[in-house]
């Protein structure tokens, strides 16, 4: 009888240890890599994919915020970590965003399917940053009126079957007043960095040109060097200006004879 009791206690603690190990490993994966959203295929849609506990749509979890006193923005499956280009220095990963207009009650789902949102933040802010202990803090300003900037992965650019931070990021502007979601980048380019202190209602970005797709998939060639461009987007006119490649100016030319 005593032996059975000891075995039962041992198995109970073993079960608790297994549950804790699984939970911690899962949490570390989320915070280390952000979310990995499985790319939907006709085959995967037929499977019974039971959502994880963190995938639940729960408006009471405290993740939603009111913007401009009128719009409630709720990030589905929010995971945060330090970093990012926003005003608070926090990266906000999510699977999707929902907007609720508090005046008319209209609910909007920004992306039709789950994506990998790498970060999102308001486009009108000023923040002070310190690069070293000698210089005074510098102020970085962004002036996009009533717009939410969304940096998201919507395509599996490296063809590994998931959407995550390794894929090319795109840039979107969401206007809750018009419910419009603008695609900012020109085709064939991906987001690299945001540049502060641009003109009012302008978004200035450093972009990378997407590499050409490999024709022979069996023989994988080394990744070509990414060509870097500057892109200035006017949110008012929804038009942008793309610079030439900076690498073209540094390419050595053969001496003339």
**Rounded distance between C-alpha atoms, residue 11 and residue 29, angstroms:** 27
> Tokens at residue 153, please?
């992965």
- In sequence order, what are the residues at sequence separation of 6 or more whose Cβ sits closer than 8 angstroms to the Cβ of residue 5? none
Q: What is the reported pLDDT for 245?
A: 82
**Rounded distance between C-alpha atoms, residue 101 and residue 89, angstroms:** 27
19-61 tens-digit pLDDT: 555 544 443 344 344 456 665 544 444 443 333 435 567 888 8
Q: What is the CA radius of gyration of the chain?
A: 23
Mean pLDDT on 207-227: 74
Q: CA 82: distance to chain centroid?
A: 13
Mean pLDDT on 100-107: 95
**Rounded distance between C-alpha atoms, residue 121 and residue 20, angstroms:** 33
Q: What is the reported pLDDT for 6?
A: 64
Q: What is the reported pLDDT for 17?
A: 64
Q: What is the reported pLDDT for 226?
A: 85
Least confident of 8-12, 87-91, 232-236: 8-12
pLDDT-derived band of residue 108, with 50, 70 and 90 as boundaries?
Answer: very high
Q: What is the reported pLDDT for 96?
A: 96
> Tokens at residue 148, please?
């939410």
177-191 tens-digit pLDDT: 999 999 999 999 999
52-100 tens-digit pLDDT: 435 567 888 889 999 999 999 999 999 999 988 999 989 999 999 999 9
What mean pLDDT value characterizes the chain?
81
8 A C-beta contact, residue 231 and residue 243? yes
Task: Tell me the whole-structure pTM to 2 decimals.
Answer: 0.76
- For residue 99, the tally of other CB atoms under 10 A from its CB is 20
**Of 94, 170, 89, residue with least CA distance to 130:** 89
Q: What is the DSSP string of 179-223?
A: TEEEE-SPTTEEEEEEE-S--TTEEEEEEEEPPPPPS-SSSPPPP
**Rounded distance between C-alpha atoms, residue 89 and residue 94, angstroms:** 16
Q: Which helix (H) or strand (E) holds 44?
A: helix 42-46
Q: Give 208's Cβ-side CA count (13 Å radius).
A: 14
**Rounded distance between C-alpha atoms, residue 119 and residue 245, angstroms:** 26
Q: Helix or strand or coil: residue 115? A: coil
Q: Which helix (H) or strand (E) holds 145?
A: strand 138-153
Q: What is the DSSP letter of 94?
A: B
**Of 77, 84, 97, 82, residue with least CA distance to 30:** 77
pLDDT-derived band of residue 246, with 50, 70 and 90 as boundaries?
Answer: confident
**Rounded distance between C-alpha atoms, residue 108 and residue 198, angstroms:** 30
């Amino acid at each position: 009888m005593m032996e059975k009791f000891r075995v039962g206690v041992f198995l109970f603690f073993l079960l608790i240890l297994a549950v804790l190990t699984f939970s911690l490993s899962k949490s570390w994966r989320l915070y280390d890599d952000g979310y990995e959203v499985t790319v939907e295929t006709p085959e995967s849609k037929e499977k019974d994919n039971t959502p994880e506990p963190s995938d639940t749509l729960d408006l009471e979890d405290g993740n939603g915020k009111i913007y401009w006193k009128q719009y409630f923005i709720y990030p589905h499956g929010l995971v945060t970590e330090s970093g990012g280009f926003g005003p608070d220095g926090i990266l906000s990963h999510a699977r999707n965003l929902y907007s609720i207009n508090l005046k008319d009650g209209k609910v909007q789902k920004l992306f039709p399917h789950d994506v990998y949102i790498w970060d999102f933040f308001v486009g009108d802010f000023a923040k002070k940053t310190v690069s070293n202990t000698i210089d005074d803090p510098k102020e970085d300003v962004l002036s996009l009126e009533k717009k939410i900037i969304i940096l998201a992965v919507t395509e599996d650019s490296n063809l590994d079957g998931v959407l995550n931070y390794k894929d090319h990021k795109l840039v979107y502007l969401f206007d809750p007043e018009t419910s419009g979601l603008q695609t900012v980048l020109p085709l064939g380019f991906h987001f690299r960095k945001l540049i502060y202190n641009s003109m009012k209602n302008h978004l200035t970005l450093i972009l990378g040109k997407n590499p050409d797709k490999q024709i022979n998939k069996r023989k994988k060639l080394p990744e070509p060097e990414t060509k870097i461009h500057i892109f200035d987007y006017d949110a008012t006119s929804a038009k942008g200006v793309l610079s030439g490649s900076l690498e073209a100016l540094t390419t050595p030319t053969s001496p003339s004879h």
